[in-house]
Amino acid sequence: MKEELMKMLEKREDEMIEIRRYLHEHPELSFKEEKTAAYIADFYKGKDVEVETNVGNGYGIIVTIKGASEGKTIGLRADFDALPITEEAGVPFKSKKEGVMHACGHDAHTAYLLILADCLIQLKDQIKGTIKIIHQHAEEQPPGGAKSIMDTGKLDDVDAIFGIHILPLAPAGTVGYHSGYSFNGRTYFKLKIQGVGGHGSSPDKANDSIVAGAYFVTAVQTIVSRRVNPMEAGVVTIGSFDGKGTFNVIKDSIEIEGDIRYSNDQVQEVIDKEFKRIVKGLEGLFGVTCELTYTPDYPPLYNDPELTTLVADTLNGIQDKDIKEVKEFPKMAPSDDFAYYLEKIPGSYFYIGCTPKGVEEPYFNHHPKFDIDEDAILVAAKSVGYVACRYLDME
């Protein structure tokens, strides 16, 4: 079956690219992917497969492929939302929606999984077990789509789950993997500091919220430098300090927004504790009142070591002209809501190199000039296909 599947994928590479380009031209933002979801659902019409739409808190789709014989159940996931970015990449299939762009590669993710799923449907008489294809909405916008899909219970029977992300960290043909904690977790915060406004000439009759806020900005940086184990990763970013006023007026209140990143659950616990302690101390030190919104978005992404070894061994053990190198990648600083699947289902999220040919310094994901080598799409389809066959023991 494995050899037959690979031949089918090779013959349909042009179709994968065509799908990717169509989706690239018609991007939709998180939780607004109505037409994209309809396009995906329409792809499966008339096929001998179960399709569930509007899964979770948006336009999620689960396609269940039941094999001819009993076996394990595997989940394969691709996301399909875009970003609020105006495209600057000079491609002929540029986004037709102003201010919206597939700047993270989710168009390529969807394209490979659609064709891989269709090939698996055609081969379902040879499949041992069940394959659940998860087309997930809203990866880019918290609370995301993954957690809500998990909360439906529709994946409770899944024994293992796999997904990929294309990254311009290596040329097409390169597959990367990382065991254990692999993507950072993320928390959003907003802090409103309420003081007492007044005249700039009379600070004794006021309570300056900007002074308290400035202290806070400096103090929270000591969490990482003095409270987090130096062998671990943590970041506290102040993204907005809204204290604009008039030159001779002491501000009554200000708002500070930012995000926090952490490499594992232990670092998250330390930062959470220390951050809230500083906020509470701010009230006592400056006599202000603080209103804190503190929302963990996505947890750290933990790749199951055993299944990550399965991915690496499977792809290292094949001879395929399109998969040229398989190597360990470092931990990634970004976050991904695939982590929610991995909290309850063992699995592995691995990486597909997509650096455009002839480019030494490619634009990274989320850049308005982000582009990929489309050879990476077939590499993604084959890599996930090989892993699925190996896990379900369908050599």
Encode burial over 73-106: b for 16+ CB neighbours within 10 A, e otherwise.
bbbbbbbbbbbebebebeeebebeeeebbbbbbb
Collapsing DSSP to helix, strand or coil, 89 comes out as coil
CB under 8 Å to 83, separation ≥6 — which residues?
27, 29, 100, 101, 102, 103, 104, 140, 366
**Token pair in block for residue 22:** 């169509």
What does the radius of gyration of the chain's CA atoms come to, in whole angstroms?
24
Which one-letter DSSP state was computed for residue 179?
-
Verify cis geometry, omega within 30 degrees of 0, for the bond prior to 143: yes
Asked if 81 is an active-site residue, the reply is: yes
For residue 190, what are the β-bridge partners? 257, 293
Is 139 a known active-site residue? yes
Q: Which amino acid is at 123?
A: L
- Give the strands of the sheet with 160-171, arranged side by side: 50-55, 60-66, 128-136, 69-79, 160-171, 347-355, 174-177, 325-328
Which of 13, 79, 81, 304 is catalytic? The answer is: 81
Could you say which of 139, 208, 304, 375 is catalytic?
139
d(CA 333, CA 290): 30
Catalytic positions = 81, 139
